[in-house]
Structure 1
Amino acid sequence: MTDKKLPIANVSHLIPQKPPFVMVDTLLEFSENKITSSFKISDTNLFIKDSLFLESGVIENMAQTVALHTGYTYFLRGENAPTGYIGAIKKVDIWQLPKLNETITTKASILQEFMGVTMVEVKVYNANSEEIASAQMKTVIVS
């Protein structure tokens, strides 16, 4: 893909995760220190139970939004997206679980980045633009 216009509806080349473990599907906004993604929750998702997207899915969506920021940064430089993982979760609050077929929007702000470790603040919003979850986490790129 060479198109750098946003939004990007197919982000599979920008993240290391592969189906069925993909929890982001669209890159909406991007800057050096911020990213906004969206994700439509389907019935084939691994984290669906009783028509709700479980806490573990919400947290993975947050982490993959951060991975999308890293992957798009690498893409803009002409490099492949690196593999990473959640290094630590300092705080997570989930007030509401998203529903099946709902599209959630996730916004991440990069607080600090040093030698492959990224500290972020992440917020998740439901289809009504209400904040339903937030977290502070560290992600780590595998070198």
Structure 2
Amino acid sequence: MVNKLVDYATTKIISSFTPSIDNIFLKEGIFIEAGIIENMAQTVALHTGYTYFLKGEEPPTGYIGSIKRVTINKLVGIGEQITTEANILHEIMGVTLVEIKVKNAHSEEIAIGEMKTVIASPNE
């Protein structure tokens, strides 16, 4: 649910995504709420994966620990690009808390939320 890495920093990432006609999160041509939440999660995963890529290491498996305070104000349709920004609020012992904002092509904030992700232990 991410097409492009737009910007990266140690505490922030911006991705973009454009839903296509074959996307599983489309209903009657509209990219539904579950798709936006999946885009949020994939943006956070992109940050972790790219961080490990820069270190020359294999990225770990991660999981969504929790999703809270998600508000979706507007949906987009097929071919409408969204831009997702995740800002890391706290990171400790493999647990990361991020604030995520999603905007449409007109820079309108269409969704906001917080997500906690967890890196799997090496044995998993």
Alignment of 1:1-143 (within 5 A): 23-143=1-121
* Count of residues paired in the alignment: 121
RCO (CA 8 Å, sep 6+): is it higher in 1 or 2?
2
Secondary structure, aligned partner of 1:93: strand
Q: Deviations over 1:61-103 (max 9, x none)?
A: 0011000000000000001222212111121000001111111
Cα distance in 2 between the residues matched to 1:81 and 1:45: 26
**AA matched with 1:44:** D
Long gaps (5+) in structure 2: none
Gaps of 5+ in 1: 1-22
Report the TM-score when normalising by structure 2: 0.95
Question: Deviating runs (4+, > 3 A) in structure 1?
Answer: none
State the TM-score, normalized to the length of structure 1.
0.82
Structure showing the higher strand proportion among its residues: 2
